[in-house]
């Protein structure tokens, strides 16, 4: 039998694919090749989490200067220099991409800077025409922004485009109500852009806890975002002043840019997956089992292309587990239970782990412990925004089933809380933990009486 060219061929150079390639080659001695048609690092590093978080930092300074004055500083902030920020941002992304490439090089992974598609269950064809046979194929091509079809859709931008803008628009419409839409509405608002946000449903952040969603919506409006619920776009027309947007309700408004953040879909189109026998789901996702194996035993998939939990740390864990299982003789599955997440908005973030109140109530009797208050730092500066601390507790087992925090640096807090909840902490474990005073997080261990039961 003719030997395979490689033991593993990875399609996609994002966090999940790169981790799988590095572990398979560097730790387990497999012969690995990887193809990436754009830039190494994937959505998170190049056009997602990392540049977005840097934009969050950039957008926070005007409010920080305002707060500083309340504390006695003679502080002011001038105009924002988008071009200077973009140059620094591009340099940072170049550095991170180089680090990804360096890690692959150190692990002796052969990198192909071109598009790859699947020819059959153990053959990959590159855009150059080269064919490479592999004992195993891993698809880690991530996802891409989804824009619905409507008149004028060709005029819109997506989250991918924001980092490459030559100049910030003066007026922008963000369409969508998920975490990407809310984050960019908050970021651009903080950078001085006049932001309007349309969402077609009755409340933003579908899938998150209802009380936290309402709190976040109020905070965005209070910060200056013109949030319009039950609103959607019917058509967009290019006019002399920018873009004229006609809403489904017949309203008309002009903007300099329209950004669609209406979800993402898996990157599987034109890859030859179905011809190779790989089962795809309704959105085009690769259907896999708990071992990340597709309907074709030699083809696996990790990350957003599987549409399980679309978060970078999850993709990394899936890729690592795959490499350990197939090449390391250490069979294990990625753990998708109790994964923390955050929405990075200003002035408060939303950090969450575990069940929402609504989901927990469907399982059994629960108790809700919650409080909302102005934190010390904000109250002193006469700022009105409030934080929210909330615990969802099983009335029977006393285990904390979920935690939802809306507060500055909520993402940092929820990571720590996630450890306790993952270990099965009860409400009494929280109660036995001494408060750290003065802090916002101390409220999580001083909530004595439930505000709701059921």
Between CA 179 and CA 344 the distance in angstroms is 8
Question: How far, in Å, are 21, 30, 38, 111 from residue 106 at the CA level?
Answer: 11, 13, 21, 12
3-state secondary structure of 88: helix
Which three-class secondary structure state does DSSP give residue 158?
strand
Which residue reads 């091509």 in tokens?
A: 141
**DSSP states along 1-25:** -PPPSEEEEEE--BHHHHHHHHIII
Strands (E), 12-151: 32-35, 110-112, 116-120, 123-126, 131-139, 143-145
Q: How many CB atoms sit inside 10 A of residue 333's CB?
A: 14
Pairing assessment for the beta strands 233-239 and 242-247 based on DSSP bridges: antiparallel
Please enumerate in sequence order all residues whose Cβ is within 8 A of that of 245, keeping only pairs 6 or more positions apart, or say none. Answer: 173, 233, 235, 236, 252, 253, 254, 255, 258
Provide the 10 A C-beta neighbour count for residue 74.
6
Give the 3-state secondary structure of residue 42.
Answer: helix
Interatomic CA distance for residues 138 and 174, integer angstroms: 35
3-class secondary structure, 189: helix
Identified catalytic residue from 136, 215, 320, 437: 437
218 is catalytic: no
Active site residues: 437
């Amino acid at each position: 039998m003719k030997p395979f060219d490689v033991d593993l061929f990875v399609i996609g150079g994002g966090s999940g694919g790169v981790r799988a390639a590095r572990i398979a080659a560097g730790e387990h001695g497999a012969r690995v090749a990887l193809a990436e048609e754009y830039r190494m690092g994937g959505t998170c590093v190049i056009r997602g989490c990392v540049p977005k978080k840097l934009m969050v930092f950039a957008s926070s300074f005007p409010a920080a200067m305002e707060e500083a004055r309340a504390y006695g500083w003679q502080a002011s902030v001038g105009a924002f220099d988008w071009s200077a920020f973009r140059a620094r941002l591009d340099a940072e992304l170049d550095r991170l991409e180089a680090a990804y490439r360096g890690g692959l090089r150190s692990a002796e992974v052969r990198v192909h800077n071109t598009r790859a598609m699947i020819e059959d269950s153990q053959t990959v064809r590159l855009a150059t025409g080269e064919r490479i046979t592999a004992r195993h194929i891993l698809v880690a091509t991530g996802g891409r922004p989804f824009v619905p079809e409507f008149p004028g859709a060709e005029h819109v931008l997506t989250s991918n485009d924001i980092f490459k803008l030559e100049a910030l628009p003066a007026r922008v419409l963000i369409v969508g109500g998920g975490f990407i839409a809310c984050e960019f509405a908050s970021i651009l608002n903080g950078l001085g852009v006049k932001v309007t946000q349309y969402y077609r449903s009755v409340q933003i952040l579908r899938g998150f806890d209802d009380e936290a969603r309402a709190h976040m919506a109020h905070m965005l409006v209070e910060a200056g975002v013109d949030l319009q619920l039950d609103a959607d776009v019917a058509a967009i027309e290019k006019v002399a002043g920018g873009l004229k947007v006609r809403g489904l309700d017949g309203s008309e408004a002009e903007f300099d840019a329209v950004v669609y953040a209406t979800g993402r879909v898996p990157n599987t189109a034109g890859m030859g997956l179905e011809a190779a026998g790989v089962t795809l789901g309704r959105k085009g996702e690769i259907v896999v089992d708990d071992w990340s194996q597709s309907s074709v035993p030699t083809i696996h998939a990790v990350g957003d292309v599987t549409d399980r939990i679309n978060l970078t740390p999850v993709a990394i864990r899936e890729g690592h587990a795959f490499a350990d299982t197939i090449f390391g003789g250490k069979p294990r599955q990625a753990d998708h239970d109790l994964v923390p997440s955050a929405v990075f908005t200003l002035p408060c973030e939303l950090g969450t782990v575990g069940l929402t109140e609504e989901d927990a109530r469907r399982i059994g009797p629960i108790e809700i412990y919650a409080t909302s208050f102005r934190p010390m730092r904000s109250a002193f500066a006469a700022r009105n925004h409030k934080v929210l601390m909330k615990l969802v507790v099983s009335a029977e087992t006393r285990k904390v089933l979920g935690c939802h925090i809306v507060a500055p640096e909520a993402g940092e807090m929820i990571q720590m809380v996630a450890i306790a909840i993952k270990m099965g902490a009860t409400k009494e474990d929280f109660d036995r933990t001494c408060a750290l005073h003065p802090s916002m997080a101390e409220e999580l261990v001083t909530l004595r009486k439930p505000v709701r039961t059921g």
